[in-house]
Amino acid sequence: MTSVPTLEDLPPLQGRRVLLRADFNVPIRDGEIADDLRIRATLPTIEWLRGQGAAVVACTHLGRPKGRPDPRYSVEPVRRRLAELAPGVDLLDNLRFEPGEEANDPAFVAKLIDGFDAYVNDAFGASHRAHASIVGPPQFLPSAAGRLLAKEVDVLLGLRTDPRRPFVAVLGGSKVSDKLSVVEALLDVADAVLVGGGMCFTFLAAQGNPIGASLFEPDMVDECRRLLERHGDLRASGSASPGPERPAAGGSKSGEHVLVLPTDITALGPGGELMNPGAGGEVRQLGTRLPEGWTGVDIGPGTAAEFGDRIADARSVFWNGPMGVFEDPRFEAGTRAVAQAMADADGFTVVGGGDSAAALAQFGLDGAIDHISTGGGASLELLEKGDLPGLAALRGEWNG
């Protein structure tokens, strides 16, 4: 397992100044923070550092200001909330106001660490980025992972290297191209990978199913077909007929690590619009063969039940990505079913941040999950590769 130095590995901090790289990239609406979870998640690290006598100065990115100051991405609302939660902790301006941050400019690193005696990275959600504030300071200062980062690494690498079995991964989201490498990596370790969301339609097309007007990546069909030939669960009703080279129904060529696709779809008929029920368009539950002009926008009730059963039987579950357009109440059922199954599961449940965490919060189920990651992209990359630039930097192994 990839280990990183922890807070206890730092030298004595009494009277020292510590630069804390946090991930305070919180949602802000009308100048107010809509969800301060990421700020509160860093408090254990701040409290430990201050308990050791250190003066703590935090830094974060916020949004995508493209290397120049932009009042839309001011950290002032974050600074106010941080002052309420941790009085006396200063917060630097938005790191991404500086072009040197995303460019990992050595001159910006030098400016950033000037006057500091130690560095702590508690920004798991940004640690897959080789940015100046992530990989730069550990080259020059005693450095360690904060409590949040250390816990994320422990939980996610535990799933990757030694999960309690059966281990089920549930992946959704829009594009298969964004997650194909993650699907492959998880198929090496998970007993079953359940695929929903928009990404499932390229897999369904690879099986020979007509997918109507659904989201589709034609250049990924061959890759999806390759994975299905090795790992496809042939119990799916939409599967192509077994040929001489295909295994018997109910298994896969690998015999253990199974890729499971939807067996039914909730679809929106021609003329319909997402987020606009008044526009017309029929909503119907269909199989995996969609008529022309119909758009698949959620897994169907049969698939939701099967996914729920697999989650219930698992001892470890990882979920990243919604099953459909859950922001539209007509198409929330699949994501809600997976969220409820995760909440009800007896096994160890992990949610990979982003839209899945938002769905849990929308359904009031976020308190029932064992671990909700603060980094969607970072959690996927760590599961895929087993390491991140920010972790390698803390170990003194980042070579850029």
Catalytic residues, by residue number, are 38, 175, 354, 377
Long-range own/partner contacts, residues 12-15 (CB < 8 A, 24 or more apart) = 12/52, 13/49, 13/52, 13/53, 13/54, 13/117, 13/118, 14/52, 14/53, 14/54, 15/53, 15/54, 15/55
- What values do phi and psi take at 105, rounded to 5? -80, 125
Give the span between the Cα atoms of 46 and 340, in whole angstroms.
34
79, 49, 113, 398 alpha-carbon torsion, rounded to 10°: -110
Of residues 349, 358, 343, the one with CA closest to residue 318: 349
Strand order in the sheet with 348-351: 258-260, 192-195, 167-171, 316-320, 348-351, 371-372
Contact yes or no for 287/263 (Cβ under 8 A): yes
